[in-house]
A = this chain, B = another copy of it.
Amino acid sequence: MIERAQNEGNVMTELSRRTMLSGVAAAALAPAIMSGLADAATPRAGKQAPGFYRYKVGDIEVTVVTDGANTFKFNDDHVSNKNRGEINAPLITAYYQPDLLTTPYNPIVVNTGGKLIVFDTGTSETAYESTKGNTGQFQLNLKAAGIDRSAVDTVVISHFHGDHINGLLTPDNKRAFPNAEILVPATEWKYFMDDGEMSRAPKGRMETVFKNLRRVFDVLERKVTQYESGKEIAPGVTSVATPGHTPGHQSHIIASGNSKVFVQGDVTHVPWLFARNPDWHAFYDQDGKLAEETRRKVYDMLVAEKMPVQGFHYPFPALAYVERAGNGYREVPVPWNPVL
């Protein structure tokens, strides 16, 4: 039932809890309004808008191109130093369902004017099939953004986990970016291509990482260019060693004019868990302690510099400022700019 009250001359519908719960069902139809429109109904569109978004860093044009998002039930050992209840608390705070982790994947494309550079490649078109379109959208959204995969000059890889490198290949095991030089972190290459390291790695998840990256890079005949930390690897793009998640994990600072953005890769996974709680050690952080150290160092710098972060596992368009909150950090999404 909708209650009414006179309020300074206005008819006011009271926003009581009861009204909110019962109002819709109980409200009477207004017959004058509902009549006289017997046209055929327009079908629902039934699909999402293409997932790309542009912004400028000085003269450099960045296009965030989403690969989609997936939702998983998490295992009890997902975060080694936290139990299920402790993980569910911030999920619920962030308006997510408990026991479920939603993971977005957001590669970017950088046009420096001279070079067209892809940063990380997403889960692959093969994953598009296996996840029923939830992930593996990168090539579709690239196309929607008007970017020709064969025009890509360079692919920069942050680290060797599957959701960052699998998109280097097409479903028929060809190069997904036929004309691109593939840049990989030298430290990452040295560690993961060492068959001794592979033989000493724990079976299960870690063994899978070693085998998967060999699968991918063997198709590329291991023809990659290794890059060092702290170098300008492309005009305006500098690599920054951010180890812990993997031994050779790299982030990248894109800078032009007075503008900068920190492309973090996996310094944090989803921010509502791991920026908020930098001391949580998820299983995909190979060295949990070092990953935590790197996280705090990077995020303290982002706060001090007011530098925006481009987060691979942030929700699209995955660009945010960060500020201190509690024992960690809170992201403040950069508002969508409707013009470039």
Report whether A339 and B68 are in contact in the complex, using a CB–CB cutoff of 8 Å.
yes
Report whether A238 and B48 are in contact in the complex, using a CB–CB cutoff of 8 Å.
no
B153, B287, B338: which contacts A316 (Cβ < 8 A)? Answer: B338
Report whether A297 and B230 are in contact in the complex, using a CB–CB cutoff of 8 Å.
no
Report whether A231 and B134 are in contact in the complex, using a CB–CB cutoff of 8 Å.
no
Taken residue by residue from 36 to 53, chain A's Cβ proximity to chain B (1 for < 8 Å, 0 otherwise) reads as 110101101111111111
Cα distance A30–B233 in the bound complex, in angstroms: 6
Q: Which of the 9-residue segments A111-119, A158-166, A209-217 touches chain B?
A: A111-119
Interface residues of A in 34-78 (CB under 8 A from B): 34, 36-37, 39, 41-42, 44-54, 61, 63, 66, 68-69
CB distance from A260 to the nearest CB of B (A): 8
Residues of B contacting A100 in the complex (Cβ-Cβ under 8 angstroms): none
Cα distance A335–B260 in the bound complex, in angstroms: 24
Report whether A69 and B9 are in contact in the complex, using a CB–CB cutoff of 8 Å.
no
Residues of B contacting A37 in the complex (Cβ-Cβ under 8 angstroms): 115, 153-154, 181
Per CB-CB distance, the 4 closest pairs between chain A and chain B, nearest first, are: A2-B230, A315-B335, A10-B243, A316-B336
Cα distance A233–B33 in the bound complex, in angstroms: 7
Number of copies: 2
Residues of B contacting A332 in the complex (Cβ-Cβ under 8 angstroms): 94-95
Q: List 21 A-B contacts (CB under 8 A).
A: A7-B290, A7-B293, A10-B241, A11-B228, A11-B229, A12-B241, A13-B240, A15-B297, A15-B301, A17-B304, A24-B255, A30-B233, A37-B181, A44-B61, A45-B54, A47-B339, A49-B54, A68-B338, A69-B339, A315-B336, A316-B335
Cα distance A228–B210 in the bound complex, in angstroms: 65
A20-B301 in contact given A49-B50, A113-B41, A187-B10 (Cβ < 8 Å): yes
Does chain B have a CB within 8 A of A232?
yes
Cα distance A335–B146 in the bound complex, in angstroms: 25
Report whether A334 and B11 are in contact in the complex, using a CB–CB cutoff of 8 Å.
no
Measured as residues with beta carbon below 8 angstroms from the partner, the interface class of chain A is 35 or more
Residues of B contacting A134 in the complex (Cβ-Cβ under 8 angstroms): 338-339
Report whether B243 and A153 are in contact in the complex, using a CB–CB cutoff of 8 Å.
no
CB distance from A91 to the nearest CB of B (A): 12
User: Which of A's residues lie within 8 Å of B, judged by CB?
Assistant: 2, 4, 7-13, 15, 17, 20, 23-24, 27-30, 32-34, 36-37, 39, 41-42, 44-54, 61, 63, 66, 68-69, 94-95, 102, 104, 111, 113-116, 133-134, 137, 145-148, 151, 153-154, 179, 181, 183, 187, 225, 227-234, 236, 238-241, 243, 247-248, 253, 255, 260, 287, 290, 293, 297-298, 301, 304-307, 315-317, 321, 332-340
Cα distance A192–B278 in the bound complex, in angstroms: 55
Report whether A69 and B337 are in contact in the complex, using a CB–CB cutoff of 8 Å.
yes
